[in-house]
Structure 1
Amino acid sequence: MPEEKITFVNSEPAKCGCKMEFSSGGGHYSDVVYVTPCEAHSGSKPFGPVEVKREGNGWWWHQGIPDFGGTEDPAPYHAWLAEEGLQLREWSMERDLDDHPYFDGTVGCEGCIGWDPQSPGPEWFLLGIFDTEEGPHVHWARREVAP
């Protein structure tokens, strides 16, 4: 694979979005070039949608979500969402389905198979489908939209 070159012209950002700042050191130091890589060149991928493959009982959780030390406290999760610039939308299976074997406590129906929660819009991606004390819930996220 050929090496990609990032080109800066007249100290303007590169076409990809990488930025460069030059300092001559004011005659006291060596020349210094500071490069701020764009998203494509930073080596890190922003948190976002991934392929969803629900497990046998229908549950799924985005693998990019941190562990938070196994706590049930939602505060670290909500703080992380805010730090990532994500807006959350959530609801229960009960909102979408009037009847499901999960609600009856049917043996062998501990999951949410048959529940296919629909995205609230094209910009939303799935964070998880999981069980809570109130029953199965879904979490969707999207990048916060500026007012």
Structure 2
Amino acid sequence: MSKDWNGLPDRCAPTRQPNSVSAAGVLSKEAMVDAYTKAVGFSPASMPYWVHAFADNILAAASAQATPAVPKLSVWYGSMPESNGKTNWTAILHKGDLVEGHTIDRSEYPDRVRYAADCVRYLIGELPERPWILDYDADKRSGCAAPSPAACEAGDEVAAKAVNLEGLRDKLLAPRAIARDENGWLWHPDYPVCDEGTRADRLLEAFGIETAFVGMESDSPDFAERWHEEGLTDCSEWTPTPPAGDGWLLLEIYDTEDGPYAMFGRDQYEAENARKRENTRRLRAALTEGQA
């Protein structure tokens, strides 16, 4: 048998025997070393160390090829409760750690989020077929059951009344008895329920109502100091002072992080006409004084 310049045989691959194959279909290290010993004539006691190292490397490479590939990316889909009592459904693309993952979609509509999650699952190979959007109910909300036809009709009637803001200016500015609750707070029964953060001044301006806000801290500083120091919750002692001008009506008294506030409102058109009349009166007075 010929040998190369390194003193190694030119054929060092062991002869594969049926009884030397493991259950996984890979030659064992002992079988490889035994075959090499017979091929080169070395005794086991004088076997070079590199033969064992060579066998280890071959087995490591074969084991790596035999290990099935694990997907690096995966999609998590599930519900997450919110502080407002509702449930948001979330889909996250991750590599094993949800905290480090990327949010695909989040909504109170579970099937909308599930469709987005399944689309990504298809792209990364977790689903064999592309999802069909018509298989998902885009209108289903979390925690909501499908209403009966009678409930739908009743709900439509109530909703129509709830969202009808026709005549809101007249309702809010109509004279009424001021009835504050046991802690001094005041709410107008016709003021619409709005999302948090809605600007009341801009909302009412759209209906022709000019607004003014009076804080207890500036209007009644002594009581405001007691309010904060003693942690009071009853503001009945405070009677908000109306802003300068005519036509102001007290609409609401409510609490804020800076203490109680009062909201006054008046007819914007009447107020604008009053300002114009006042400006005209002053102009005429100035002209008359100049001519005298």
What TM-score results when the alignment is normalised by the length of structure 2?
Answer: 0.31
> What's the counterpart of residue 62 of structure 1?
188
Quote the Cα distance in structure 2 between the aligned partners of 1:72 and 1:133: 14
Q: Select which of 188, 192, 196 maps to 1:72.
A: 196
Which residue in 2 is equivalent to 1:85? 208
1:50 pairs with 2:176: yes
Percent identical among aligned pairs is: 30
In structure 2, what is the equivalent of residue 134 of structure 1?
258
- Separation in 1 of the partners of 2:260 and 2:183? 11
**1:1-147 matches, cutoff 5 A:** 46-47=170-171, 48=173, 49-68=175-194, 71-75=195-199, 77-100=200-223, 101-106=226-231, 109-120=232-243, 121-144=245-268, 145-146=271-272, 147=276
TM-superposed CA distance for 1:140, in Å, is: 0.4
Unpaired stretches in structure 2, ≥5 consecutive residues: 1-166, 277-292
Deviation at 1:103, TM superposition (A): 1.9
Cα deviation, residue 123, structure 1:
0.6
Larger relative strand fraction: 1
Amino acid at match of 2:242: S
Structure with the higher helix share, 1 or 2: 2
Give CA-to-partner distance per residue, 1:37-61, whole Å, 9 cap, x none. xxxxxxx682213211111111101
C-alpha distance 91-118 of structure 1, shift in aligned 2 (>3 A): closer
| SS across alignment from 1:99 | helix
5+ unaligned residues in a row in structure 1: which ranges? 1-43
Larger of the two Rg values belongs to structure: 2
Question: Normalized against structure 1, the TM-score is what?
Answer: 0.59
> Which residue identity is paired with 1:59?
W
Which structure has the higher relative contact order (CA within 8 Å, separation 6+)? 1
How far the C-alpha of 1:138 sits from its partner, in A, is: 0.6
Q: Which residue type is aligned with residue 67 of structure 1?
A: V
Q: Matches of 2:247 and 2:255 in 1, distance apart?
A: 24
Count of matched residue positions in the alignment of Structure 1 and Structure 2: 99
